[in-house]
């Protein structure tokens, strides 16, 4: 699946997007945040306050308990400040 990062999440992770293949036990958005956090310090810094992080699956907002099975694109970003 493709991961995308925006705003300060992108800056902290150090990339705008990447393709990952998480193991089968990574079932939800929260699991994915935990899996990424364990990879290295950049992700740990980006996700240091996981409750602040917003997520979208295939361009629709989701809660962190959402299942990621079948997702093509998952995005992580801070609360939005448009308008």
CA distance 6 to 81: 12
Nearest distance, CB of residue 3 and another protein, angstroms: 12
Catalog residues that contact another protein under the rule CB under 8 A: 4, 6-8, 56, 59-61, 75, 77-83
The contacts of residue 61 (CB under 8 Å, 6+ apart) are 54, 55
Kindly tell me which of 24 and 60 has the beta carbon lying closer to another protein.
Answer: 60
> How far from 4 is each of 26, 27, 59, CA to CA, in Å?
17, 18, 11
Kindly tell me which of 9 and 36 has the beta carbon lying closer to another protein.
Answer: 9
Nearest distance, CB of residue 33 and another protein, angstroms: 18
């Amino acid at each position: 699946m493709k991961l995308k990062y925006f705003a300060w999440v992108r800056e902290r992770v150090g990339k705008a997007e990447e393709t990952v293949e998480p193991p089968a036990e990574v079932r939800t958005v929260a699991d994915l945040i935990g899996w990424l956090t364990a990879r290295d310090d950049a992700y740990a810094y980006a996700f240091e306050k996981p409750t602040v992080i917003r997520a979208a699956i295939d361009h629709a907002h989701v809660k962190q308990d959402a299942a990621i099975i079948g997702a093509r694109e998952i995005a992580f970003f801070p609360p939005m400040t448009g308008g």
